[in-house]
Amino acid sequence: MVPDHLAIIMDGNGRWAKSRRRPRLMGHRAGADALDRVMHYCKDAGIRYLTVYAFSTENWKRSDEEVSGLMKLLSRYIKSKAKRLVEDGVRFRVIGRRADLSEKLQKEIADLEEKTREGDFTLLVALSYGGRDEIVRAAAKLAAAGAKFTEEALSACMDAPDVPDPDLIIRTSGELRTSNFLLWESAYSEYYFTDVLWPDFGKDEFDKAIESYSKRERRMGGRLK
């Protein structure tokens, strides 16, 4: 079985740049190229949803130079890829605290979401995203509506309630943690960890992850067959 929804913690851009004695931003640029490649592997494999962790609620702690460089890179990515995303049938969406982003970037995101609304492959980009933050915002929405707290009701208040939970979550660069990614949605996700740094993540590594997933038995709490 191929995952319907793949999520990726794209980590290791900084180390990739460091190993080449280049500025960290160069690593982030190479990371954006890796995303383009991997999106195509996903489409070819029959995956319908791809969520990528691009900037966490904790990443604001980084230097002003790195944060502003990342925001510029995003803005440039949106501008340069818009046409291609529409042509390729990619529905672009953002999850996370989008109000934290500049007004300009928010507008660019909203425009691209609107332009790509009809796409049949969904790319969710997690920006100023934290799993705890998403749960707290969802809970606040429910409380404000005076609604009853149930799993279904809370799920419906998450940032992308129409998207199924991720089947497989990949983290690159050798770190064995979730770093606040999709805490609610990952309850029964399978994980795949690799030492490969995100900018080096290629077709071989993608195939290995999908192959590993295909051999897993997802019991969801049931008994061994």
Catalytic residues: 11, 59
* DSSP tag of 165: P
Nearer to Mg ion, 49 or 181 (CB): 181
Structure tokens at 125: 């980009």
Q: Can you spell out the DSSP letters for 31-71?
A: HHHHHHHHHHHHHHHT--EEEEEEEETTGGGS-HHHHHHHH
Which of helix, strand or coil describes residue 205?
helix
Q: Closest Cα partner for 206 from 52, 17, 11, 40?
A: 40
Binder to ligand IPE among 53, 121, 206, 213 (CB under 6 A)?
A: 53
Least Å distance, CB 199 to ligand IPE, is: 9
Q: Residue 71 and residue 104: Cα distance in Å, rounded?
A: 11
**Binding to ligand IPE by residue 11, rule CB under 6 A?**
yes
Structure tokens at 90: 């990619």
**Binding to Mg ion by residue 11, rule CB under 5 A?**
yes
Bridge partners for 5 per DSSP:
49
Alpha-helical (H) ranges within 46-150 are 64-87, 103-115, 131-145
Closest CB to ligand IPE: residue number: 14
**Binding to ligand IPE by residue 105, rule CB under 6 A?**
no
Q: Which stretch binds ligand IPE (CB under 6 A): 11-19, 32-40, 154-162, 202-210?
A: 11-19
Stretch 151-190: interaction string toward ligand IPE, x if CB under 6 A: ----------------------x-x-x-x-----------
Contact status, residue 118 vs residue 87, Cβ threshold 8 Å: no
**Binding to ligand IPE by residue 15, rule CB under 6 A?**
yes
Binder to ligand IPE among 5, 6, 7, 12 (CB under 6 A)?
A: 12
**Binding to Mg ion by residue 205, rule CB under 5 A?**
no
**Binding to ligand IPE by residue 54, rule CB under 6 A?**
yes
**Binding to ligand IPE by residue 75, rule CB under 6 A?**
no
Q: Which residues bind ligand IPE (CB under 6 A)?
A: 9-15, 53-56, 59, 70, 173, 175, 177, 179
